Structure 1
């Protein structure tokens, strides 16, 4: 069992706040993703769990034991870094074996444990190679094998795919997903890539400037974002956000009119996903000239400009038109989200 409790964790450097009042329980065997832009505090949170940073305030508990004052080596966590951090003078076998030597594991068990870890990440044909002779994807798999070889309570992964090209990211992401399922270990994964978060996580923690914005399953985060920051950060493309006015249940903005909404009168921000709208022949809720067209293969992305904001809708891949042509877009009221204009917080449910 490896339940992790973060009780009102804070990290400050003088007047600079890195993480503010982070309070969360991470269940045993859960795959939790910390998601947010650079500087949001996600890596700092992970480093405090690992013991590489001291928490300014709050408590960190692993299996009910407070670990704030324990050295990293005594917390029984394994960390996979963005930079791989392999020993260049050692071959793959020795790199994977190294944690067993450092922790004094019986040498009679080393070969079996190394081979098991290498097989899990498909490295058995590369055990004699030095890191310099490996591709980026192979090096990352060595780092993964080195983390799993000693069977720690907790895996910590700090943007492990960010140095890989797009194709390798997809295949290695699948490997990490499969590994987490097989190992059934508690995993905390840091990334700024929302696709990684959506595909890997049991739960996602979205962070901004050291503050947790929302915690939930990928579906919850995607379908019911807590505020405009989460709405704009999750999704490809991000949720469309349009500033306008609500009067008697009708939202209005330049070239936009959507009736039947439940929300207060006054200034609000309307949100909807590109896939939740469609191109109509006429009579749609949005009517404007086409700003740009993008053929995606399985669909055509049609964008129009509403005020100073771009609004995107996914049309059929056979849709054809020209920039500047008028287009009518249907947005069903049940797919609309409303946010407070000042705070960005979600309005009602």
Structure 2
């Protein structure tokens, strides 16, 4: 069992706060993703778990054991870095085997463990090549196999796909998902890519400026974002956000009027809706000029200028129009999300 508890951990460098009061229990065998923009504190959090950064305040426990003062090598965690961190003078076999030699694991078990790890990431045919002879995707798989061969209690993955091209990112993401299912090891994965987070995670932690904004399943976070930051960060395209006011159950703002909303609210609000929840309807209640069109193959994203705000609506792949055309938009009240205009916190 490898349950991890982060008990109000903080990291500061002088007056700069990198992570503030991070409090979370990560279940045994859970795949947890730390998600956020650069500088939000996600990698710092992972490095504190690994022991590569000291904790300023708080406590980290793994398997019920406090690890704050343990060296990284004594925490039984394996880390996969963005930069692969392979030994250029060693072939694939020896790169994978290296952690076993360092930890003085019984040499008679090395060959079987190395071959099993290599097979899991489809590297069996490349065992005698050196890193310079491998593609970026193959090097990342070597790094994954080197972590797997350790058989650790915890996997830590720091943006492992960010150096790969789009096609390799997709295939390696599938591989990581499958490995997670096969190995059943507690995994913490850092990324700024919300698609990786949504497709890989059991739970996602969204961070901004060192503070946790929301913790939940990918579905929870997509369907009910806790605030405007999460709403604008999750989704492709991101949720549309319109400033306005609500009175008598009707929202008005940005040349948009939507009735049938909560009659309990009477204030300035930010209204959000997803691109796929609105429609381009000749009978829609709002009309706006078309700003751009993006054909995705299976759909067309129409970007409109609603007042001073750019908003996206997902249309069918057959949709055709010209930039500048006025297009009617229908936004059903039941798909709308309401946030406090001042704090950004969710209201409904």
Measured against the shorter chain, the TM-score band is: over 0.9
Please give the alpha-carbon distance, in whole angstroms, between the structure 1 residues aligned to 2:295 and 2:185. 41
Shift of 1:253: 1.1
The Cα shift of 1:222 comes to 0.3
Post-superposition shift, 1:299? 1.1
Provide the rounded CA distance (Å) in 2 between the counterparts of 1:308 and 1:158.
38
TM superposition outliers: structure 1 runs of 4+ over 2 Å? none
**Cross-structure match for 1:258:** 258
Matches of 1:275 and 1:329, distance apart in 2 = 12
For the residues of structure 2 that align with 1:285 and 1:234, how far apart are their CA atoms?
A: 27
Q: Secondary structure at the match of 2:93?
A: helix
Does residue 279 of structure 1 match 2:266?
no
**Cross-structure match for 1:220:** 220
CA distance in 1 between counterparts of 2:16 and 2:285 reads 45
1:186 aligns with 2:186: yes
Deviates more, 1:304-313 or 1:191-200: 304-313
1:70-109 aligned within 5 A: 70-109=70-109
Question: Which whole-Å CA distance do the structure 2 matches of 1:43 and 1:229 have between them?
Answer: 19
CA distance in 2 between counterparts of 1:44 and 1:179 reads 25
The 5-angstrom pairing of residues 57-76 of structure 1 reads 57-76=57-76
Q: CA deviation at 1:295?
A: 1.4
| Counterpart residue number, 1:270 | 271
Q: Name the TM-score, length of structure 2 as normaliser.
A: 0.99
Question: 2: distance between equivalents of 1:150 and 1:177?
Answer: 19
Q: How does 1:290-309 map to 2 (within 5 A)?
A: 290-309=290-309
Deviations, residues 175-202 of structure 1 (Å, cap 9, x unaligned): 0000000000000000000000000000
1:83 and 1:73 mapped to 2: Cα distance?
20
For residues 121-140 of structure 1, what are the alpha-carbon distances to aligned partners after superposition, in whole Å with 9 as ceiling and x for unaligned? 00011110110110000000
Q: State the match for 1:249 in structure 2.
A: 249
Superposed CA deviations along residues 57-76 of structure 1, whole A, max 9, x for unmatched, are 00000010000000000000
Q: Secondary structure at the match of 2:293?
A: strand
Unaligned regions of 5+ residues in structure 2, if any? Answer: none
Structure 2 partner of 1:175 = 175
Give 1:285 deviation, angstroms: 3.1
For residue 208 of structure 2, what is the aligned residue in structure 1? 208
Aligned to 2:145: 145
Matched position secondary structure for 2:110: helix
Superposed, 1:8-47 pairs within 5 Å as 8-47=8-47
Describe the SS at the equivalent of 1:22: strand
Once the two structures are overlaid, the 10-residue window that deviates more, 290-299 or 267-276, is 290-299
Give how far 1:94 is off.
0.4
Task: Measure, in 2, the Cα distance between the counterparts of 1:303 and 1:116.
Answer: 49
SS at match of 1:79: strand
Secondary structure in 2 aligned to 1:138? helix
Identify the range of structure 1 (294-303 vs 88-97) with the bigger mean alpha-carbon deviation: 294-303
- In 2, the alpha carbon distance for the partners of 1:178 and 1:204 equals 18
Show the counterpart of 2:3. Answer: 3
After superposition, residues 318-337 of structure 1 pair within 5 angstroms as 318-337=318-337
Residue by residue over 1:222-252, the C-alpha shift from the partner in whole angstroms, topping out at 9 and shown as x without a partner, is 0000000000000000000000111111000
Alignment partners' CA distance in 2, 1:158 and 1:67:
20
Distance 2:279 2:190 in 1: 35
Distance 1:288 1:172 in 2: 41
Give the root-mean-square deviation of aligned CA atoms: 0.7
| Unaligned ranges ≥5, structure 1 | none
Q: Is the 8 A contact 2:242 2:254 kept in 1?
A: no
Q: How many residues align?
A: 347
The reply on whether 1:317 has 2:317 as its aligned counterpart is yes
Cα deviation, residue 254, structure 1:
3.2
Shift of 1:308: 2.1
